[in-house]
Amino acid sequence: MAQRVVIDPLTRIEGHLRIELETGNHKIDKAWSETTQFRGIETIVAGRDPRDAWAFVQRICGVCTSVHAVASIVAVENAIGSNPPTQARLIRDMVLASQNIQDHVIHFYHLHALDWVNVPSAATADPQKAVDFAKAIGSTWKGNTVARMTEVRDTVKGILDSGQLTIFTGGYWNHPDYRLPPEANLMAVAHYLDALQFQRSMIRIGTVFGGKNPHPNFLVGGMACTIDPSHSESINQVQIDQIRQWIAESAEFVNDCYLPDATAIMGVYKDYFDIGAAQPNYLAVGLAGATYAGDPAASRLTSAFTAVKPGAIYDGDLGTVHPFDPTRIAEWVSSAWYTYQDGDVGLTPDKGETTPHYTGPQPPYDWVADHPQYTWSKAPRYDGRVVQVGPVARVMLAYAQGHPATKALVDAATKKLGITVGQLNSTAGRTLARALECSVLADILARTTFPTFVKNLKGGDIDVFDPSKWEPSSWPASSSGFSLVEVPRGFLSHWVSVEKGKVARYQAVVPTTWLAGGRDAQGRQGPYEESLAGKGQHPLADPSQPLEPLRTIHSFDPCMSCAVHVMDPEGAELQVATS
């Protein structure tokens, strides 16, 4: 008889996710992905000034704030015909790049690595052997010293001796499938701590250009910051020099530390390149940071990332890249707590509706999947297919198009690990693909985007705002637009309709919706569900310690809502939810 297993809350993600499983004989038979948080941002911006929409919709997420802001601004610019200057677009590129790099590093070390790295084991490690291990895997990170490893080992010892594991409380540390030797665990814990310092530097780039973080400032038609190398109140030479240093530090950390760690650790868990595959259909509009205002076939590219064209890959066939067509995107609500005016017909986002209709059990509940509707996440489909988005989709698309840097890194990694490119569609593959992409992205930022921005500055180009379409009187009475942006977790699109100067309709199709959505009208599972239950072979050794499904779900880097923040201006409590 199948055993029911519930993982709720699924931690070390953004937002709230519940996974329900039916399992037997240590394998997963069925899976349901349940987003238990409602995102109502689309309804909040209706009727507002479209120039303000970015400030609201960047609250979709508490972390990926910049990417939603940029997506919103580009969609509005597409609708009203605004054309931001080159320097403003380059600034957005740098903000998006720093967000992507920071997010990938945080995901690997702080959200995902503890699925593979046993922290208490590090207390028994020999620091010299930890340094030797780092050298053996090709890590040239400057933190690989005996003094640093000794310091970290003693810190872990101190935590264990205190009887409280602090931030590491709740881990399945006695699970038998932790495989790294103590020295590798010590190296990884040291790098976990170093990554905390690194990610602080990376986010400063967005802070300089946006004024603060999270929720930096942006502007329809350009950027809210000003540039004047000789004035302290503007982006000046001092800040440009700081940004140059932070970009160099990011490339150093990614290539010397992150990429070697990810490759080596996934190599130890090599069988996970055959676990956790989802549907082999991939959708992306380019490399991370690629930004389009409207249909790529008919409109301009607003970013510097031109090397990889938008496209889709079906059934794992890397020999054929299908042209991207935004009209092939549709969202279904077959398993979601929404209702459409005309029923579950699969609406394109430009005609999308966000009408909540909760039909699930009243909390507290033990099991949700007995109900046809079980999630707040719609189920997007492209060309009628379930697709994967995110780093693995971008890497597959870039590889299929022969992008030199991506192809070189993928070929080197697959050869070293003894796997095929197709095996990147897996739990370990998604994790490795993210590190490979991060290396490419850090190089583009350091060698292309930032130098181009500086070169333009030297040529006297400090213009960051197009005022021609600022006043609503310059807009058409009725218009619509959309944006396509590649962000850390995948393909993001915002869709806006403007009527008489106000937002008439707004939809955001976020990467995690593509991945976490449930079954559609044909009963096809979303990628999370397929990765756990698709072949009926996903392991789950001990239902009381569901480490294996955590590894697979974490490999997607879930960002569920991403965290709706509602507050009273007086600080009063709004509502208490219990379960």
- Only one residue has tokens 């953004």, namely 14
Q: Which DSSP category does 576 fall into?
A: -
User: Does 562 count as an annotated binding residue?
Assistant: yes
User: Does 61 count as an annotated binding residue?
Assistant: yes
User: Does 42 count as an annotated binding residue?
Assistant: yes
User: Does 257 count as an annotated binding residue?
Assistant: no
Q: Which residues contact 351 (CB under 8 A, 6 or more apart)?
A: none
CA–CA separation, 375 and 290 (whole Å): 30
Report residue 94 as tokens: 């740098």
Task: Give buried/exposed letters for 505-540 (b at 16+ CB in 10 A, else e).
Answer: bbbbbbbbbbbbbbbbeeebbbbbbbbbbbeeebbb
Residue 380, phi then psi, degrees to nearest 5: -70, 145
Residue 170, phi then psi, degrees to nearest 5: 95, -5
- Only one residue has tokens 């046993």, namely 118
Q: By the 8 A CB rule, do 511 and 18 touch?
A: no
Report residue 138 as tokens: 């090709």
CA–CA separation, 11 and 439 (whole Å): 27
3-class DSSP assignment, residue 540: coil
Residue 284 pairs in a beta bridge with: 311
3-class DSSP assignment, residue 56: helix
Q: By the 8 A CB rule, do 215 and 224 touch?
A: no
Closest listed residue to residue 341, CA positions, set 357, 360, 358, 361: 357
Helix-helix angle 404-417:427-444, to 10 degrees: 140
Other beta carbons within 10 angstroms of residue 18's beta carbon come to 21
User: Does 26 count as an annotated binding residue?
Assistant: no
Going through 109-165 in order, the beta strands assigned E by DSSP cover none
Q: Which residues contact 27 (CB under 8 A, 6 or more apart)?
A: 536, 537, 538, 539, 540
User: Does 77 count as an annotated binding residue?
Assistant: no
Binding residues for Fe cation: 64, 562
Binding residues for Ni(2+): 61, 64, 559
Binding residues for Mg(2+): 42, 565
Binding residues: 42, 61, 64, 559, 562, 565
